[in-house]
A and B are shown apart, each in its own frame.
Chain A
Amino acid sequence: GAVVSQHPSWVICKSGTSVKIECRSLDFQATTMFWYRQFPKQSLMLMATSNEGSKATYEQGVEKDKFLINHASLTLSTLTVTSAHPEDSSFYICSAPQGAPQETQYFGPGTRLLVL
């Protein structure tokens, strides 16, 4: 099946620094990718929709200046957590849909972010 990768798989950073997370579709092109955040023992919360060639669409309550999304190509979307703080510590997961008419979404393995 289709494969979506994320890099890095985990990152520890100091408060105030910025962290970039990459999401790649390895064997298919994705004009749209999705970014989710998952806190421990909770469900996934959609943060934003990443659109190749246009601006990302953010869900209500998600700060677009805090979470910068760039869909650089048909196989790569990046999420940058700017000026990270401890409350941003979470598991970040991306997904990309493939196929039609009703698409199966393939999820990356996730990136665990710990902000000290």
Chain B
Amino acid sequence: SQQGEEDPQALSIQEGENATMNCSYKTSINNLQWYRQNSGRGLVHLILIRSNEREKHSGRLRVTLDTSKKSSSLLITASRAADTASYFCAAETSGSRLTFGEGTQLTVNP
């Protein structure tokens, strides 16, 4: 299958809590990217972590990458209702091709 795996498939939390999503991929990568998609809309790029990096922060986002395990995690701290969306990881391989994970549907309850 072209797709990587993400877990959980769905996550429901209360506003203010942290949300953690995990992603696994299958091949060697140039970088690992995380995207957000609101229902029926296009994708918004959140953060990119290169294959030689282990951790990266951007605002309330923290991404880790473990190339030995071919896995990555996205942590959203102090979540807000507006963070409700689907989150996808995407592994970039040669030629800028992206292979997307199955996605996590995050619901943040006010």
A interface, CB within 8 angstroms of B: 32, 34, 36, 42-46, 49, 59, 91, 93, 95, 97, 102-110, 112
Kindly provide the distance from the CB of A107 to the nearest chain B CB, expressed in whole angstroms. 4
Instruction: Specify which of B30, B40, B45 is in contact with A102 (CB 8 Å cutoff).
Output: B30
B36-60, CB under 8 A of A: which get 1 and which 0? Answer: 0000111111001010000000000
- Give how many B residues have a beta carbon under 8 Å from the other chain's beta carbons: 25
* Structural contact, A91 and B3, CB atoms closer than 8 A: no
* Structural contact, B2 and A110, CB atoms closer than 8 A: no
Kindly provide the distance from the CB of A22 to the nearest chain B CB, expressed in whole angstroms. 15
The interface residues of chain A, by DSSP majority, are classed as strand
Given A45-B2, A91-B40, A97-B96, 6 more A-B residue pairs with CB atoms under 8 Å apart are A44-B100, A46-B99, A102-B92, A104-B45, A105-B33, A107-B45
* Structural contact, A109 and B99, CB atoms closer than 8 A: no
* Structural contact, A43 and B3, CB atoms closer than 8 A: yes
Kindly provide the distance from the CB of A12 to the nearest chain B CB, expressed in whole angstroms. 15
CA–CA, A68 to B99, complex, Å?
A: 21
